[in-house]
Amino acid sequence: MNSTSAASRRLTMLAAGLAIALLAAESWANIRLPAIIGDNMVLQTGGRVCLWGWADPNEEIGVKVSWHTVDWTIQADNAGKWVFQMAAPEAGGPYEITFKGKNTITVKNILAGEVWVGSGQSNMQMTVKSSANAEQEIAGATDGQIRLFTVARKIAEKPQENCEGKWVLCSPETVGDFSAVAYFFGRELRRELKQPIGLIHTSWGGTPAEAWTNPAALQENPSLEPILARYREALAVYPQAVAKYKESLAKWEEEVKQAKAEGKTAPRRPGAPMGPDNPNCPSGLYNAMIAPLIPYTIRGAIWYQGESNAGRAYQYRELFPTMIKSWWTAWGQEEGFPFLFVQLANFIADRKAVGTEPGESPWAELREAQTMTLEQPNTGMAVTIDIGDANDIHPKNKQDVGKRLAAWALANTYGQDRVYSGPIYKSMIKKGNRIVLTFDHVGGGLVAKGGESLKGFAIAGKDRKFAWADAQIEGDKVVVSSDKVTSPVAVRYAWADNPACNLYNKADFPASPFRTDTWPGVTVNNK
């Protein structure tokens, strides 16, 4: 090769390199928006909306919105981040927003209405196509005033600025793979409020509450140190655990092939070790699937989770409120946006089955921890003790779950005059060999569902031995007694994984399981 051609090739390569560098610089200089801000989104009406993105450091950006005559100019900070707040548009639309800097982005087909986040584990993740009456529900889901956003599942060691996902209009083509609980909740709001509804779904099956909690909140709460200590121990042996996992996985793959060839049931896949890429790691899902949504303006959140923490139910008493407060703090709402959650449904047919003597239950203790969380302001709980499935941890009736969550929102967030909860235990008085119970949320009166005698009540004396009890409704109270307990001191109701229970109010909301005692339960020492 002569020197002229060599020089020519070097110049060509240099020019190509410069072109790539300039392209990269131009790409970085362009205004960029997070995934949550895009076409078809719903902006929360009735206050201020928050918009943000990235550009060149200190770059000036013009903002024009179709619902206002004023144009704004904002400036990115030294890191290229910019944030802009303005009054939200009135409910309705469609609206547009144009951002102009070194490039121009116009976000189109925007609606203004009510925006809710739906999160949790598998019962929130469960899709419309997996719920009851799926074919009919999907066929009838044409409503462009409901918009859906699903956050792609991801884990991160530190809070992320962006996520994967996009807003889509609710339709038979899009709703099937969306969260059933979130959709049925949003559909109920849409019917009642006659406003656009934006639903942001971010969940991951099988995950514990600590995975969804802000890392600072976990670190600042001494009672949750065992969670972090356990994780540090896992990280210390993580390389060895990964090597062993890979060996187990290879063996499992061979066993699957053999089982398939022999027509046998394949063995269960080995579980991945705890580490930074495990969805159960502390704060891993908060970092990747909640942090990128902040500070998008929302009305509130709905939550369905707890199954993965049932073995540590006493700890959940502290963990769950800590998680909720960490969301409020991150969104800059110290007083808290509405946070509505689903109490665990009845489940597990073969553990403390109906008809056995009263006993202990980790699921009952988790439900108790959830009920105790109602002490936090702006929280609400949908009781589902009557619509679970003893043989399936994922009951298909998500329509009633959505309706019961929506009832809390419609009454307390939107001010409708309606009953929104079943009876919740308030107090007890001992009268001779009987205990008289009073309740909040009697909803026009107490009833035994189906016209039968009350079921699910147990009573005990100081020996802490519970016996099934007779229970009678007297006005707005329930009177409990048993011939086996002459001097009772405590009552429990629906205190089992899969209880037989039928106390309701006249508005057809079931009573929440409860106990009047504070005796240590089976999960008291589990951290």
pLDDT per residue as tens digits for the range 208-242: 999 999 999 999 999 999 999 999 999 999 999 99
CB 521 within 8 A of CB 360: yes
Q: Taking residues 333-351, report their average pLDDT.
A: 89
Tokens in use for 309? 């923490």
Q: Give the pLDDT of residue 27.
A: 43
Tokens in use for 67? 């619902």
Q: Taking residues 248-264, report their average pLDDT.
A: 92
Q: Give the pLDDT of residue 349.
A: 74
Q: Give the pLDDT of residue 334.
A: 81
pLDDT tens digits for 353-392? 445 789 999 999 999 999 999 999 999 999 999 999 999 9
Q: Give the pLDDT of residue 29.
A: 61
CB 489 within 8 A of CB 461: yes
Burial of 94 (C-beta count, 10 Å sphere; 0-12/13-18/19+):
middle
Which sign does the torsion angle of CA 253, 258, 259, 260 carry?
Answer: positive
Does residue 44 sit in helix, strand or coil? strand
Nearest-angstrom CA–CA distance, 62 and 75: 9
For residue 6, pLDDT beyond 60: no
pLDDT tens digits for 397-434? 999 999 999 999 999 999 999 999 999 999 999 999 99
Does residue 437 sit in helix, strand or coil? strand
Q: Give the pLDDT of residue 8.
A: 46
Residue with tokens 């993965």: 308
Q: Give the pLDDT of residue 15.
A: 43
Q: Give the pLDDT of residue 12.
A: 43
CB 366 within 8 A of CB 380: no
Q: 3-state secondary structure string, 377-436?
A: CCEEEECCCCCCECCECCCCCCHHHHHHHHHHHHHHHCCCCCCCCCCEEEEEEEECCEEE
Helix (H) or strand (E) holding 477: strand 477-481
Q: Give the pLDDT of residue 357.
A: 86
pLDDT tens digits for 432-487? 999 999 999 999 999 999 889 999 999 999 999 999 999 999 999 999 999 999 99
Query: Of 41, 297, 80, 82, which Cα lies nearest the Cα of 72?
Result: 82
Homologous superfamily in CATH for domain 42-203: Immunoglobulins (2.60.40.10)
The dihedrals phi and psi of 64, each to the nearest 5 degrees, come to -130, 130
Q: Taking residues 520-524, report their average pLDDT.
A: 97
pLDDT tens digits for 268-323? 999 999 999 999 999 999 999 999 999 999 999 999 999 999 999 999 999 999 99
Residues 6+ apart with CB under 8 A from 375: none
Q: Give the pLDDT of residue 419.
A: 98
